[in-house]
Amino acid sequence: MFERENEYSESTPVWPIFGDLMAGLVGVFVLVLVWVIGIQLELTQSLADEVAKRQAAEQARMALEQALADPLATGRVTLRDGRIGISGSVLFALNSAELQPEGLELLQVLVAPLKVYLAERGELLMVSGFTDDLPIQKHNARYADNWELSAQRALTVTRALIDAGMPADWVFAAAFGSQHPVASNQDQNGRSRNRRVEMAPVPRGNAEQPAHG
């Protein structure tokens, strides 16, 4: 009887089974380690790419600010989050969509830095026209309402930018009428601020959305 038990014990050694188990665990550990290293490398590369993009965007923004230094100092334009706001009085006379000489000169100065800015970000430039909430004067039959006036002003600025060297497929116009004011329309100063044109970089996919006006 004892001899049979000894024979059974000798026929089922434990160490080979333990060795196989350990080898399997080591294999799993190696696979996990390789996966973790791969994830870390991917995250490191993504971080480096993001840093490079932000540095390029910052350089483009600084170039834009430098080009805008004089009009910013004189209050002819504003710059916030990459959006350029130009007072309507700089660009146009009241109820008019014809560019004034000062406005045309300003737009021509902006084209070169704007092209660099857009190229670095791979974006388009949306030119938006805005008005105050006063209705169009009846004697001015050229424009039916503020929607039409803001649309024509946006188109005028867009065409002026293209004439000054902006690629036509990099820019488009949008009209917002008296919507989205930046100041109160209860006084002359506020209405003057609301009569404006803004130029804002937007992702290329946004250009597929229909523009007002």
Please check the confidence at residue 5 and state whether its pLDDT lies above 60: no
The span from the CA of 189 to the CA of 167, in Å, is 35
What are φ and ψ of residue 155, in 5° steps? -65, -40
How does DSSP classify residue 99? B
What pLDDT was estimated at residue 15? 65
The Cα-based distances of 4 to 10, 13, 16, 59 in angstroms read 10, 15, 22, 85
Neighbour tally for 8: CB within 10 Å? 9
| Exposure on the CB side of residue 127, measured as CA atoms within 13 A | 26
Q: What is the pLDDT of residues 60-103, one digit of tens each?
A: 777 778 777 877 887 778 888 778 999 888 898 888 889 999 99
- At 47, is the pLDDT very low, low, confident or very high (cuts 50, 70, 90)? confident
Q: Which residues contact 115 (CB under 8 A, 6 or more apart)?
A: 165, 166, 167, 170
pLDDT in tens, 178-197: 888 888 888 888 888 888 89
